[in-house]
């Protein structure tokens, strides 16, 4: 099987998976948030650094939920970019400017996620503790997301270069 056929076949499957996730993920995320927030001691369950007596009002709870949704936005953006990329691949548009742009978009989304995963929990904890606790944690997820995002951004730039060369080559007989 030729490489382009293999890419088209796999991309076709992945397109469906990603298309399904685009609709399923927000619903799953919403359900998880609702289940978490309904528990009486949810601040302590989500943020072990929060003091036991923390009982957030509805405004604080709302803000914490909004921030949790903000973290999900790059994931959604990444899935949308992936769907477009796999759509291009299954049509056979591999070395094109459009595909390179989508790879770049996926990389940027993962980089944003790496940053938001550090910043947002710190802000949420600060809100829950009325500004008494500020805690940043850099874990292995941050390193993995940063490396993966940086890798994809680099690949995206390289693909853009390759797409320009391919476009130039298409003019040659």
Partner 1 sequence: MEIVVRLDVMLARRKMRSRELADLIGITEQNISLLKSGKVKGIRFETLAAICAALDCQPGDLLEAVAEASD
Instruction: Please check whether residue 99 is in contact with residue 157, taking contact to mean a CB–CB distance below 8 angstroms.
Output: no
Does the footprint of partner 1 cover residue 171 (CB under 8 A)?
A: yes
Contacting range for partner 1; rule: CB under 8 A; set: 9-17, 53-61, 90-98, 164-172: 164-172
Q: How far is the CB of 108 from partner 1 (least distance, A)?
A: 32
Does the footprint of partner 1 cover residue 172 (CB under 8 A)?
A: yes
Q: Which is nearer to partner 1, 2 or 173 (CB)?
A: 173
- Could you tell me the two tokens for 129? 């503790």
Question: Terminal CA-to-CA distance of the chain, rounded, Å?
Answer: 26
Q: Which is nearer to partner 1, 119 or 162 (CB)?
A: 162
Does the footprint of partner 1 cover residue 165 (CB under 8 A)?
A: no
* Residue 147 CA, distance from chain mean position: 14
Residue found under tokens 């947002």:
120
Q: How far is the CB of 163 from partner 1 (least distance, A)?
A: 16
Contacting range for partner 1; rule: CB under 8 A; set: 9-17, 60-68, 72-80, 165-173: 165-173
Write the burial class of residue 149 (CB in 10 Å: 0-12 exposed, 13-18 middle, 19+ buried). buried
User: Distance between CA 173 and CA 139 in Å, rounded?
Assistant: 53
| Residue of 131, 139, 155 lying closest to 51 (CA atoms) | 131
- Could you tell me the two tokens for 162? 């390759």
Does the footprint of partner 1 cover residue 95 (CB under 8 A)?
A: no
Does the footprint of partner 1 cover residue 168 (CB under 8 A)?
A: yes
Q: How far is the CB of 91 from partner 1 (least distance, A)?
A: 21
Residues that bind partner 1 (CB under 8 A): 168, 171-173
């Amino acid at each position: 099987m030729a490489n382009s056929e293999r890419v088209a076949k796999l991309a076709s499957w992945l397109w469906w998976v990603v298309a399904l996730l685009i609709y399923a993920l927000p619903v799953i995320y919403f359900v998880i948030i609702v289940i978490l927030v309904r528990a009486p001691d949810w601040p302590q369950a989500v943020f072990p650094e929060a003091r036991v007596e923390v009982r957030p009002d509805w405004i604080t709870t709302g803000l914490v939920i909004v921030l949790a949704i903000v973290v999900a936005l790059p994931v959604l953006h990444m899935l949308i970019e992936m769907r477009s990329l796999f759509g291009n691949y299954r049509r056979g548009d591999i070395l094109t400017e459009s595909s390179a742009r989508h790879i770049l978009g996926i990389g940027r989304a993962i980089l944003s996620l790496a940053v938001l995963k550090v910043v947002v929990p710190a802000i949420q904890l600060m809100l829950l503790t009325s500004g008494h606790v500020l805690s940043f944690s850099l874990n292995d997820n941050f390193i993995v997301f940063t490396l993966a995002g940086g890798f994809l951004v680099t690949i995206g730039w390289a693909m853009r270069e390759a797409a320009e060369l391919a476009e130039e080559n298409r003019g040659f007989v």
